[in-house]
Amino acid sequence: MQSEPVPALVTLHLWTVEPRSVPAALLRMGRDRGRVRRTPGVRFAKLLGTGDGRTFTVRDADPLRWGLLATWADAAAAARFEDSPVVRAWEADAVESCRLDLRPVASRGTWSGRSPFGDPVPVRHDGPVAALTRARLRARSAPGFWRAVPPVSADLRDRPGLRAAVGIGEAPVGLQGTFSLWSSSAALRDFAHADAHAAVVARTAPERWYAEELFARFAVVGGRGALDGVPVADPAA
């Protein structure tokens, strides 16, 4: 498959709503898919549910937090989208929201048959970084994967340099991943090479857990709002 162009910008919105706003959020999850994809400048977009990412089963799901990941042909299109009916409606119901602006620095694998972050040339980045994993589980392999996840999740949350971690998915089961925000590339590398994480990675190919997988790393180039009360404008603080 030919790689897609590296997007000029990737954005991730996360919105936390009150329990009374959950029905409206569910309605928007269905309604907004077409609206976002028709937005000028959008190359790829996914509306996402979230969870705590501890087991990657349905019990992780958080009905109060929702997300939108999008890739953009240019930063100006992303800026105009902030005043769209889609964003305004989510912001009106949100009790907390954030937007992270990301530049891809590494990506491998596919998402829905596409390579949304292209094939970026690796560059040195000394500031805050983010990592995104996404996988489509094979049904027969899912129980083994679910048993392997808890030690890695526990290790992740104890890692120095981790600023935030959110489970993400297009469905409560089977289509899932993690978005994590780090103070530095070194902190992310230390986690990637840790025993618990490395052991699970080594099992991925022989146990054929995934029908599709993607891993991407980003330089964090901007942000606004807060995630779990922590401002995202300066993740390295």
Q: Can you say whether residue 112 is alpha, beta or left, with left for phi > 0 and alpha for psi between -120 and 50 degrees? A: left
The strand ranges marked E within the chain are 9-17, 42-51, 61-72, 94-109, 129-137, 162-169, 175-182, 210-227, 230-231
The top-level CATH class assigned to 9-223 is: alpha beta
> In which element (H, E) is residue 144 found?
helix 142-157
3 state SS of 89: helix
pLDDT in tens, 18-66: 999 999 999 999 999 999 999 999 999 999 999 865 544 555 678 899 9
Q: What is the pLDDT of residues 143-174, one digit of tens each?
A: 556 555 655 565 566 677 888 888 888 865 54
Cβ atoms of 203 and 90 within 8 Å: the answer is no
Q: Which residues have CB under 8 Å from 214's CB, separation 6+?
A: 107, 108, 109, 110, 111, 132, 133, 134, 135, 177
Q: Are β-strands 230-231 and 162-169 bridged in parallel, bridged antiparallel, or unpaired?
A: unpaired
Per-residue pLDDT band at 195 (split at 50, 70, 90): very low
Tokens standing for residue 189: 């590398």
Q: Give the Cα-Cα-Cα angle 208, 198, 51 (nearest 5 degrees).
A: 75
- Residues 105-126 have a mean pLDDT of 89
Top pLDDT among 230 and 225 is at 225
Interhelix angle 142-157/195-207, rounded to 10 degrees, is 160
* 19 contact partners, CB below 8 Å, separation of at least 6: 63, 64
Query: What confidence tier does 186 reach under pLDDT thresholds 50, 70, 90?
Result: confident
Mean pLDDT of the chain: 82
Amino acid at 80: R
